[in-house]
Structure 1
Amino acid sequence: MVDRDQGRAEKAARAFGVKRTERDVDVLLNEGAIDAAHVLVPPDLHRAVALPLLARGIHTLVEKPLADSAAAARELVEAADAGRAVLGVNQNFVLQPAFVRARKLLESGRYGRIRHVAFTYAMPLRQLASRQFGVWMFQKPINILLEQAVHPLSQLVTLIGPVHRVAGIAAPPLLLEHDLRFPDRWSLDLDGATCSAQLHLAFGHSFPAWGFTALCDDGAVTVDLLRDRITATGRSEHLETISDLRDGLRSGLGLVRDSARAMASYAAGTLKLVPRNDSFFVSMRASVRAFHASLPAGPAPFTGRFGLSLLEICEQIDALRPAASSRVAMPKPAPAVTDGPLVTVFGGTGFIGLPTVEKLRAAGFRVRVAARGAKQIDGVETVRADIADAASVTRAVAGSRYVINLAHGGGGDSYETVRAAMLDGALNVARAAREAGAERLIHVGTIASLYLGDPGDVITGDTPVDPQKETRALYARVKGETDLAVEAFARDNALALVLLRPGLVVGAGTSPFHSGVGFQNNEQHVIGWNAGRNPLPFVLVDDVADAIVASLRAPDAIGRAYNLVGDVRLSAREYIAELARALGRPIRFHPRSVTGLHAGEVGKWVIKLAARRPGNVFPPKRDLHSRGLMARFDISDAKRDLHWHPVADRAEFIRQAITPHANPFAREAIVPSPLEGDSSSTFPAARPLATTLSPKGEGAEAA
């Protein structure tokens, strides 16, 4: 296992039983110790990492996309040919179980030859909703195609064969921030060797839809790839109405069978009664196994040429984007502060971190943002640091007068993993702040570390961490332990500490579906932790940022803890009603009793007990009571010591907390781009592809 971050490599190696780790692959190349390699670095590094491997004749599987451009992918294909190495690209969704079954049905000849495929790929995009614009897919407009569109394209090319022509239109791009444009919708026509196809791409769509209908000479097959369902319509010797009845009954029974199988498989996998069996994992396992089974002679199941063909299609799609009308007048960032007191902010690129950074700069502070992905922020020094890596934390806080820790630390599925990520990481920050001589550390926790289930309790900054934290869910338990550990460290080492616990933080820049309101199996239905009538401790993200900045210099704040809860406290029912009104969507709140929720948890416990699952503990009711947030909050201490004034007007709260989610991004105006010889058209001409591939990945040159 090779990773420049040796600590991360060793952690993963322990988890998977890998016996050796290295920081540099050249060490292994010089030893001649590699038989095959799997390249899992970010796409813009695929070429640099894979090229020397292929040149040495090492069989190499590269994650999708094969490279970040067709030119780079072509270099890899040529290097593999020259080095006589097997080059594969991990287009795992061609081996998705529902797709494999549908392909076998279509290739059986039962419905004749495929003449046209209508394909839809409309999927939510978590990074877009959470405004994680520093990730690779947002850095260039084509990157979203390379990151996401290669999935449906790999399936489409497998169905219709080599693609000779691409035409279509792109919706005007979304304007994310400053001058960052994001193309989110495409309507495309593709011509294959013997049939045509249409492809609708939508990135950031709220309702997930991924599937296709194949129109054949003698029937049609419809596939829902997300829900693992296949229906088919064909002909018989009977009258058309009888044939339709037969197909309807067959399709209905098939849907029942497919849905029941999917439900049973999901339940067994979720309860860990069987090994992991979701479609993504199954397809990934099948793709990796198939690559290694093809060695040493090859070819790989999805060759480098197959990956190259997908990149060429993506570049043709990207060329269809219309030209922007003009530079967009986005808000200009505040000028950089170069001579103020230095504040290092861990988690400064997150939901709370970004407005905190802006307010720090406006207050005259010089800001350094430390994050695992060091996204560039105008006028701010950014450094790569992971709170789990003590050395990187120490480097990040060097010379800082103040330190703010907003970093979550990461999660996990066991107490030990979550504790190591959160608590140990927070202590790394506290130690580094003390060693750097920082005047003050602001540690941002959460009200989840408190017990909030008793409607008779009044919660203040002096309220202790839940004394029965062991009965709480992992997140709440470890957050409470982290608060206690950081407070103890500060007390024992004379470190000036301010502990802030925000409530349910809302506003532009995050999902409006807060887990404190209820839990969601999907965005349309919110299942409450109780009847949903009690006021909830909401707080606007800008108000939290104001409190963080104020706590840096508030003389009476050292050694204190403050709960950051706003003055507008809607109930869960009121919040969901306002959200549904703003979004124009039929969002519903479903009240539940704690007894009913607990009965469901006990049912899961019984099933796990029958299956003799290790570590199965009877679920306590206390955590569910606390999630209902029945306790009342008194924030007079925060208002007094921090001179904090959160928004108190209900209409203004709704304007900042809910209204931005109706249209989170503006859309750019577009200048028409006419077809050659046709000034009436607004779309560019279709262009032929230079290289086409068969469904099995074998290359062929085309005019």
Structure 2
Amino acid sequence: MSETMSETGSEIRVGLIGAGYIATWHADALSATPGVRITAIVDPNESAAQGMAHAYGARAFTSVEEMFAANCCDCVHILTPPHLHEEIAVNCLNAGLHVLVEKPVSESADATRNIQSAADSAGKRFHAGHNFLGLPSYTRMKAAMQSGDYGRISGCEVTWALPLAPLRSGPYNLWLLREPKNLLLELGPHLVAFAQDLFGDIQMMRAEASKPALLPGDDPRPQYIRLLAQAGGVEVTFTISMVETVDDRSVTLRGSSARARLDFAQDVLIVERENPSDLIVNPLRKQLDLSRQHLWQGAKNAAVQLKSLNTQNPYGRSFRGMDAAIYGDLSANKPQDARFSGASAVKVMQAIDDAIALLPAEVLTVKAPAVQTRQPKPTAMVIGGTGFIGRALTRRLVADGRDVRVLSRGRSGPFPDLPDNIETVQASLHDLDALTEAMKGIDVVFNLAKALETTWADALKNDVGVATRIGMACEKAGVKRLVYTGTIASYDMSDPGQQITEDTGFPEDMTDRNLYARSKAECEKQLLKLHRERGLPVVIARPGIVVGAGGPLQHWGIGRWHGAGAVRIWGHGRNILPFVLNEDIADGLVRMIDAPVEGQSFNLIGEPMLSARDYFDAIHAELGARIRFAPGNLYAFYAGDALKYALKKYALRRKGVIRPSLADWKSRAHFSPFVNTKPKEMLGWQPETDRATFVQKAITQANLMGF
């Protein structure tokens, strides 16, 4: 912090480098931090940078160098993929900026030391984004431990038990899945930072990994990691579980006077103590004390959520606590808070390195991809080929003898075992010329892309605009067939008495429908307009609720999930749902390549099989796992949505808020039955008809639990 800034008390100007998912959490916390103003958003994706910059009143840049030249920041938060952290952090420090680096701050302890060295040389501060150390409940736990309230601490257990869906259903081109060690690099700092801050330097003693998940190409990744360590005379156990499990993200301290358990996912601290009452009253008093604490913590958190209109959940509070500590010290020229200092980050990453060194070599080995013997000669392109349906479709095309070009944001895709048949290319979906170039030599394009936006303006740009642009590129490149994947969600499915066929139209007014349903309907409208007016050879597919291997357990087409063990069904859950196997979807899409069906649409819905209740009963019967489900009152969902709409529009003055619709909520329950005659007659499509086989493929063999 410059002396001038501290004397004048001027605002600290902060830039965010990276405009992905985590950036919003940082931006919201910074916006609530006194004396701080967001002035820059940097992302190579200009649209993402501009959209976020507009939302937070900042300037947008597509490179760090542009931000340097503008001289608009005093500090930056580096929120890019971890393999880019070191270089960007060092460059920013050398440019005279303080840095906060999202965890993991780097890919090794040595790289972290390089960042700290650059900070020391520049006279600037390097902060680690260990946000959970900023939780109010953690601050209370640490203070109580240090004051002796829990007695002498002998043991500590730090747990991260939370399903990691990409391990089983992708996307597989994420940094954290590139190497097995990246899973520990990604999640380990959260756990190790707690122990480092509480007890001091950590000595890793043992590391083990189990329950491997097989990525495409049979490349294993561990889903269960356990580390044994010592720190400050305390035995510490770190547990990371990424299978489908009850959420348990906690720190437990075992002391001579009390056992304290911090649920850092919920910002709840519960302390279990003995009491001096006699043998009869003692157990009652102990349980009453625990009940009182749980009730108080639950009521307090609910009050915070209500008062803040759901803008201060525990995760958001952790970022606010971190930023308050960092920028409070920075503005007052106080020494760095040790919780977030670069020196602590080095020790945390050294402990992670030590743990990785203790893991067996076979756990850390990346299975080498197959050796390429020829260059692919693709005649089919799949846009969205790394997704659930896209992966099955791409492999089906190869099985049918076609080479495939997959359009992806990354340079690699989930097909390491098929280098002779699949090539992955990068092209911006906003660049017509690049899309046209990528389609050279292609006969059929499958567009499975989708954009889940929060405003209609963004949906028009990033979903409807993209779908139309892909259609125009197909025209320019001479593509013979474009298969576009829409959604049955665009229908009004609220009436149990109405059968839905391809002749059933979408509602005339969709302004009160959810953005995904509305946007997909508009995409179809624009593509069919291109077909009528310019002869675009488009065919539209609308998959139902897609299930099968590679799909998620927590499928939101069925209900609102509360972890892996509980779900509130959309509606009563007794009506038959439009389930369909992923392999049947791939078969239907392939059949659209040569069939004389240009300008037509097909609802790819399987044969009537299961209701939501039947589905969960089948999971219990086949997997031995009972998932608690309850019917969801759609009128209550609608009323709650209406209340949120009123608060957002009139209390928070937000623009573009979607007016709630009862029909939209009822449609989520899929009350209207579908008739799948058209694809069977015109495409020769034959979805699975045997219920037992369907259950085997959709549930038993689908690896829903991850183990």
- Secondary structure of the residue that 2:99 maps to in structure 1? strand
Q: Tell me the CA shift for residue 307 of structure 1.
A: 1.3
Q: Deviations over 1:571-617 (max 9, x none)?
A: 22222211222221112443355555545555666777995866777
Aligned partner of 2:423 in structure 1 is 381
Structure 1 residues 321 and 480 mapped into 2: Cα distance closer, same or farther (>3 Å)?
A: same
Structure 1 residues 375 and 161 mapped into 2: Cα distance closer, same or farther (>3 Å)?
A: same
Q: Tell me the CA shift for residue 268 of structure 1.
A: 4.1
Aligned partner of 2:18 in structure 1 is none
Aligned partner of 1:450 in structure 2 is 491
Moved more, 83-92 or 606-615: 606-615
Counterparts of residues 164-175 of structure 1 (less than 5 Å):
164-171=203-210, 173-175=212-214
Aligned partner of 2:580 in structure 1 is 539
Q: Tell me the CA shift for residue 623 of structure 1.
A: 1.9
Contact in 1 for aligned 2:275/2:286 (Cα 8 Å)? no
Structure 1 residues 617 and 512 mapped into 2: Cα distance closer, same or farther (>3 Å)?
A: closer
Q: Tell me the CA shift for residue 144 of structure 1.
A: 0.8
Counterparts of residues 213-228 of structure 1 (less than 5 Å):
213-228=252-267
- Secondary structure of the residue that 1:591 maps to in structure 2? strand
Amino acid of the residue matched to residue 470 of structure 1?
T
Amino acid of the residue matched to residue 403 of structure 1?
V
Counterparts of residues 585-596 of structure 1 (less than 5 Å):
585-592=625-632, 594-595=634-635
Distance 2:250 2:113 in 1: 30
Aligned partner of 1:310 in structure 2 is 348
Structure 1 residues 108 and 293 mapped into 2: Cα distance closer, same or farther (>3 Å)?
A: same
Counterparts of residues 401-440 of structure 1 (less than 5 Å):
401-412=443-454, 414-440=455-481
Q: Deviations over 1:611-665 (max 9, x none)?
A: 5866777643222332332333332221232222222121221111111245665
Q: Tell me the CA shift for residue 148 of structure 1.
A: 0.9
Contact in 2 for aligned 1:430/1:490 (Cα 8 Å)? no
Aligned partner of 1:400 in structure 2 is 442
Moved more, 8-17 or 328-337: 328-337
Contact in 1 for aligned 2:514/2:658 (Cα 8 Å)? no
Q: Tell me the CA shift for residue 406 of structure 1.
A: 0.1
Contact in 1 for aligned 2:155/2:235 (Cα 8 Å)? yes
Counterparts of residues 599-614 of structure 1 (less than 5 Å):
601=641
Distance 1:286 1:260 in 2: 21
Aligned partner of 1:697 in structure 2 is none
Moved more, 478-487 or 3-12: 3-12
Aligned partner of 2:405 in structure 1 is 368
Distance 1:237 1:338 in 2: 77
Correspondence for 2:237 among 198, 214, 218: 198
Distance 1:501 1:569 in 2: 18
Distance 1:27 1:145 in 2: 34
Amino acid of the residue matched to residue 400 of structure 2?
A
Q: Deviations over 1:133-173 (max 9, x none)?
A: 22111111111111111111111211111113432433263
Q: Tell me the CA shift for residue 62 of structure 1.
A: 1.3
Amino acid of the residue matched to residue 399 of structure 2?
A
Contact in 2 for aligned 1:176/1:665 (Cα 8 Å)? no
Distance 2:549 2:402 in 1: 24
- Secondary structure of the residue that 1:452 maps to in structure 2? coil
Moved more, 167-176 or 121-130: 167-176
Distance 2:671 2:576 in 1: 8
Q: Tell me the CA shift for residue 260 of structure 1.
A: 0.7
Q: Tell me the CA shift for residue 395 of structure 1.
A: 4.5
Contact in 1 for aligned 2:44/2:63 (Cα 8 Å)? yes
Structure 1 residues 33 and 419 mapped into 2: Cα distance closer, same or farther (>3 Å)?
A: closer
Distance 2:57 2:636 in 1: 42
Aligned partner of 2:330 in structure 1 is 295
Q: Deviations over 1:455-475 (max 9, x none)?
A: 333322232223343342222
Structure 1 residues 402 and 266 mapped into 2: Cα distance closer, same or farther (>3 Å)?
A: same
User: Bigger relative contact order, structure 1 or 2, given CA contacts below 8 A and separation 6+?
Assistant: 1
Contact in 2 for aligned 1:405/1:443 (Cα 8 Å)? yes
Aligned partner of 2:617 in structure 1 is 577
Structure 1 residues 390 and 256 mapped into 2: Cα distance closer, same or farther (>3 Å)?
A: farther
Q: Deviations over 1:114-150 (max 9, x none)?
A: 3321222211213224232221111111111111111
Distance 1:142 1:326 in 2: 6
Contact in 2 for aligned 1:582/1:662 (Cα 8 Å)? no
Aligned partner of 2:35 in structure 1 is none
Distance 1:328 1:283 in 2: 34
Aligned partner of 2:133 in structure 1 is 94
Amino acid of the residue matched to residue 187 of structure 1?
R
Contact in 2 for aligned 1:562/1:638 (Cα 8 Å)? yes
Aligned partner of 1:671 in structure 2 is none
Q: Tell me the CA shift for residue 265 of structure 1.
A: 2.4
Q: Tell me the CA shift for residue 408 of structure 1.
A: 1.1
Distance 1:344 1:100 in 2: 53
Aligned partner of 1:46 in structure 2 is 85
> Are 2:664 and 1:623 equivalent residues in the alignment?
yes
Q: Tell me the CA shift for residue 109 of structure 1.
A: 2.8
Moved more, 342-351 or 448-457: 448-457
Contact in 1 for aligned 2:616/2:626 (Cα 8 Å)? no
Aligned partner of 2:532 in structure 1 is 491
Moved more, 389-398 or 177-186: 389-398
Aligned partner of 2:124 in structure 1 is 85
Structure 1 residues 198 and 525 mapped into 2: Cα distance closer, same or farther (>3 Å)?
A: closer
Amino acid of the residue matched to residue 234 of structure 2?
C
Aligned partner of 2:24 in structure 1 is none
Aligned partner of 1:561 in structure 2 is 601
Contact in 2 for aligned 1:55/1:79 (Cα 8 Å)? yes
TM normalised by structure 2 equals: 0.85
Distance 1:223 1:233 in 2: 11
Q: Tell me the CA shift for residue 390 of structure 1.
A: 4.8
Distance 2:658 2:482 in 1: 37
Amino acid of the residue matched to residue 318 of structure 1?
I
Structure 1 residues 624 and 411 mapped into 2: Cα distance closer, same or farther (>3 Å)?
A: same
Structure 1 residues 30 and 426 mapped into 2: Cα distance closer, same or farther (>3 Å)?
A: closer
Structure 2 unpaired stretches of 5+: 1-40
Amino acid of the residue matched to residue 184 of structure 1?
Q
Q: Deviations over 1:350-389 (max 9, x none)?
A: 0000011111222233311112334333332112345355
Amino acid of the residue matched to residue 603 of structure 2?
N
Q: Give the paired residue count.
A: 658
Structure 1 residues 424 and 198 mapped into 2: Cα distance closer, same or farther (>3 Å)?
A: same
Moved more, 36-45 or 26-35: 26-35
Distance 1:423 1:219 in 2: 58
- Secondary structure of the residue that 1:633 maps to in structure 2? coil
Correspondence for 1:278 among 313, 322, 325: 313
Q: Tell me the CA shift for residue 336 of structure 1.
A: 6.8
Aligned partner of 2:677 in structure 1 is 636
How large is the Cα RMSD of the aligned pairs?
Answer: 3.1
> Are 2:389 and 1:352 equivalent residues in the alignment?
yes
Q: Tell me the CA shift for residue 39 of structure 1.
A: 1.6
Contact in 2 for aligned 1:508/1:664 (Cα 8 Å)? no
Amino acid of the residue matched to residue 120 of structure 2?
D
Structure 1 residues 374 and 446 mapped into 2: Cα distance closer, same or farther (>3 Å)?
A: farther
Distance 2:571 2:271 in 1: 44
Contact in 2 for aligned 1:443/1:498 (Cα 8 Å)? yes
Contact in 2 for aligned 1:568/1:650 (Cα 8 Å)? no
Q: Deviations over 1:304-356 (max 9, x none)?
A: 2211211111122122222439999999899877345x222110000000011
Amino acid of the residue matched to residue 651 of structure 1?
A
Moved more, 303-312 or 556-565: 303-312
Contact in 2 for aligned 1:458/1:632 (Cα 8 Å)? yes
Percent identity of paired positions between Structure 1 and Structure 2: 31
Q: Tell me the CA shift for residue 505 of structure 1.
A: 0.9
Structure 1 residues 367 and 83 mapped into 2: Cα distance closer, same or farther (>3 Å)?
A: same
Structure 1 unpaired stretches of 5+: 667-703
Correspondence for 2:202 among 163, 170, 174: 163
Amino acid of the residue matched to residue 292 of structure 2?
L
Amino acid of the residue matched to residue 349 of structure 1?
T
Distance 1:109 1:56 in 2: 45
